[in-house]
Amino acid sequence: MAPIRIRTKVESDTLVLPELKLLVGKMVEIQVSEELEPCVGDPWADAERAVRELSDYDFDASTVQRETDRRQSQDHLA
């Protein structure tokens, strides 16, 4: 049997899916994944706004951590 794809909004933890009526009583595999909303607008503008709104971010700590990670990544090679 060909796979059945059902796109629906989950409104509760109990789903009623008439499309599966023929499969009642049979072993099936059910996969559920969330669909991400499409990006609307300019993603670069959104990124720029997010960066401008950053507060309490320690850029120096980030740089030091990156350098420490780089040095330690070579430790296992010695």
In this prediction, residue 50 carries a pLDDT of 87
CB contact burial 40-65 (16+ within 10 A = b; e otherwise): eeeeeeeeeeeeeeeeeeeeeeeeee
In this prediction, residue 54 carries a pLDDT of 87
What is the DSSP-derived secondary structure letter of residue 20?
G
Q: Is pTM beyond 0.75 here?
A: no
77 pLDDT more than 80: no
The residues spanned by each domain of the chain are 40-78
Q: What is the pLDDT of residues 2-46, one digit of tens each?
A: 888 888 888 999 988 898 999 999 999 999 888 887 777 787 888
Rg (CA), the chain: 24
